[in-house]
Structure 1
Amino acid sequence: MRRNIFITLQSFAEYSDVPLLLLKNAGVSIRLNTRKHRLNQSEIIELGEDSDGIIAGVEPYDKMVFNKLLRLKCISRCGVGIDSIDLKEAERRGIAILNTPDVVVQPVAEMTIAMIFNLLRLLTYHTNLLKSGEWRKRAGHLLKGRKVGVVGLGRIGKRVAEILGSLNAYVYGCDLKVDSEWLAGNNIKILSISELLCEVDVLCLHVSVSTDNTFFLGKKEMAQLKKGAIIINTSRGQILDEGALYESLVSGHLGGAALDVFGEEPYSGQLVELDNVVLTPHISTLTKESRIEMETQAVENILEYFDVPYECPPLLNMNQK
């Protein structure tokens, strides 16, 4: 039986032919997202009506979508987050949900560290001054000796903590379930969230959105942070009150913030007005290398689920475009 695979990603195989070649060589039927934007429920239903499997981004899959996609058996997420999928409804219907959690660790960790350095050394601040014709200097801070809190010690949080430790920062962690074996090999001090907020100079958020995890950084929590503390969020926009963050930055209580994720995307809120904020359009995992690997793994996952044999393309095709 020839399987119909719908690829909902806005762009696919942009940096390498490998993911598409895997699908073509496996003999499956392929449909691409021709709209070139993040699909809504109606568009998913319209374009994916006869799909057996979907290679998905972060578009929503709820009961309404599942009611219409009667052939759907597998969603292979290109990335790690699956909070846009109604997992209970998928389980009830026997729809498999797969993802690529390991690929995103290094790119998101690197992005987090880059954002910390940007704010501590005022890189964007000084760039904007120079672009406006001003040659003016303001002293920043070393990362060495700074107290950095990592909220969420999953794959990404652990990697961030490891890198921070290697750069001689004092690292504090907080999680619902701490990996004791990993902790034994790393110099990380575990605190409650209230203790951590009061202690750190830099707060890094690596929290997933789930029914088990109700973490939210609001006005009350921001008030607990030290004066001049900075916040980094590369996880989920829903876990942070952007209005409260704006107020805390304008008042001078917080020293800066760097966000790659937002409650509503594309973002066009008040934070764009501030010069002590670094804002990026959800690009933490967007490196050519990680994108190729994520897409390739998402393809392999869905082919293996349907027990479709495949062969890796020649190494020549692994090169980036």
Structure 2
Amino acid sequence: MKILFSVGNAFVPIHQEMVVQMEQLGAEVECLTFEQSMHPEIVKERIEDADIYILAVTKVGRDVIDCAKSLKWMIKLGTGVDNIDVMYAAKKGIIVSNAPGQNAWSVAELVIGYMIGLSRKVSLLDARTKNGSWKHSLGLELYGKTLGIFGFGTIGKKLARIVDAFQMNKLAFSYHQDEKTAESLHVSFVSMDQLFSQSDYLVICTALNQTNYHIIDASVLKKMKPNAFLINISRGAIIDEKALFDALKINEIGGAALDVREIEPPEMVPDLNNLLVTPHIGGSTIESIQRIADVTLENIHRFSQGKPILHVVKC
């Protein structure tokens, strides 16, 4: 079996080990760097005779799939598959699988860092102090505040567990309501408008789809509390970035943290004191990357043995 492996930046430290293990299973492996994977023409050329394509954030649309004459299976190194045309792949008889939940703890922990960082102005005060200023600043506690979880999936549930340490009130909006888990975690499901207006910390955990593109727009930002914080660890296109940056400039909300952007890398990063921005590092921990690698290698082993593949994405 021939495997084309687009090596995401987070997997660079362990990709050689993964290649060795895939070769031990009888695979012939070709690797593309992150930079090469960002050029569709290179992907189209290299994918032509691949049986399996392993990828992270590379976009795989109809044009790429049509070039994959021998492709049987695409493996997403992570959970979200919005960068893959899953419907068209299925039409072509190509299986798509992912590694759901393997980076959930990493992402949920990063959200806590954002919440504290925004509330206590850590980034701003760090920069000022290093520039010679020693000026105190009042912040906010997480204790007793209201956390709003937009998308009550694996990450949202883990986040709900963690914030019990801060005795936060927990609200959630989800299209698929897991009432049993919500009850056990003392999470109350509310309407979308209630979530926006009542949350002190609004965390976007939902997957991107056609119905929620730019769902966080100027009208939503006006519904939020003036001292509320917006955190996005899902997909950048869920937020209308221009509307958010305009709101932050006039302090319409307390602040925002973005680990994801609509275009990555972004064309620009506003220099705003109430904005934290990181380069899509939510799932990038040593532990989570190893878990995803383990799931991927286990699945390739199953494939080589003719066994059913785990975590096949349904259309």
Q: TM-score, normalised by structure 1?
A: 0.90
Q: Say which is worse superposed, 238-247 or 161-170, in terms of deviation.
A: 161-170
Aligned counterpart in structure 1 of residue 4 of structure 2, from 3, 6, 17: 6
> Which residue identity is paired with 2:283?
T
Instruction: State the match for 1:19 in structure 2.
Output: 18
Q: d(CA) in 1 for partners of 2:204 and 2:169?
A: 16
Instruction: State the match for 1:197 in structure 2.
Output: 196
Please give the per-residue CA displacement for 1:85-126, whole angstroms capped at 9, x wherever unaligned. 111111111101010012111101111111111111111111
Q: CA deviation at 1:57?
A: 1.0
Instruction: State the match for 2:312 in structure 1.
Output: none
Aligned counterpart in structure 1 of residue 284 of structure 2, from 271, 283, 286: 286
Q: Say which is worse superposed, 102-111 or 205-214, in terms of deviation.
A: 205-214
Q: d(CA) in 2 for partners of 1:116 and 1:170?
A: 14
Structure 1 residue matching 2:13: 3-state secondary structure: coil
Q: d(CA) in 1 for partners of 2:30 and 2:43?
A: 12
Q: CA deviation at 1:308?
A: 6.4
Instruction: State the match for 2:55 in structure 1.
Output: 56
Instruction: State the match for 2:223 in structure 1.
Output: 224
Q: d(CA) in 1 for partners of 2:154 and 2:230?
A: 20
Distance 1:172 1:34, change over 3 A: closer
Distance 1:123 1:35, change over 3 A: closer
> Which residue identity is paired with 2:23?
K
Q: CA deviation at 1:35?
A: 6.2
Q: Report the aligned-residue RMSD.
A: 1.8
- Alignment check: 8 A CA contact 1:18 1:296 kept: no
- Alignment check: 8 A CA contact 2:216 2:240 kept: yes
Instruction: State the match for 1:207 in structure 2.
Output: 206
- Alignment check: 8 A CA contact 1:78 1:99 kept: yes
Please give the per-residue CA displacement for 1:101-154, whole angstroms capped at 9, x wherever unaligned. 121111011111111111111111110111222111111111111111110001
Q: Say which is worse superposed, 244-253 or 291-300, in terms of deviation.
A: 291-300
Q: Is there any run of 5+ residues in structure 2 with no aligned partner, and where?
A: 308-315
Q: d(CA) in 1 for partners of 2:257 and 2:167?
A: 21
Alignment of 1:172-183 (within 5 A): 172-183=171-182
- Alignment check: 8 A CA contact 1:216 1:239 kept: yes
Distance 1:114 1:37, change over 3 A: farther
Alignment of 1:84-95 (within 5 A): 84-95=83-94
Structure 2 residue matching 1:150: 3-state secondary structure: strand
- Alignment check: 8 A CA contact 2:25 2:304 kept: no
Q: d(CA) in 1 for partners of 2:16 and 2:50?
A: 22
Instruction: State the match for 1:146 in structure 2.
Output: 145
Q: CA deviation at 1:218?
A: 0.4
Q: d(CA) in 1 for partners of 2:149 and 2:34?
A: 38
- Alignment check: 8 A CA contact 1:76 1:301 kept: no
Instruction: State the match for 2:123 in structure 1.
Output: 124
Structure 1 residue matching 2:254: 3-state secondary structure: strand
Sequence identity of aligned pairs in percent? 27
> Which residue identity is paired with 1:50?
D
Q: d(CA) in 1 for partners of 2:38 and 2:294?
A: 21
Q: CA deviation at 1:214?
A: 5.5
Instruction: State the match for 2:249 in structure 1.
Output: 250
Q: How many residues align?
A: 306
Q: CA deviation at 1:270?
A: 4.8
Instruction: State the match for 2:44 in structure 1.
Output: 45
Instruction: State the match for 2:262 in structure 1.
Output: 263
Bigger RCO of structures 1 and 2 (CA < 8 A, at least 6 apart): 1
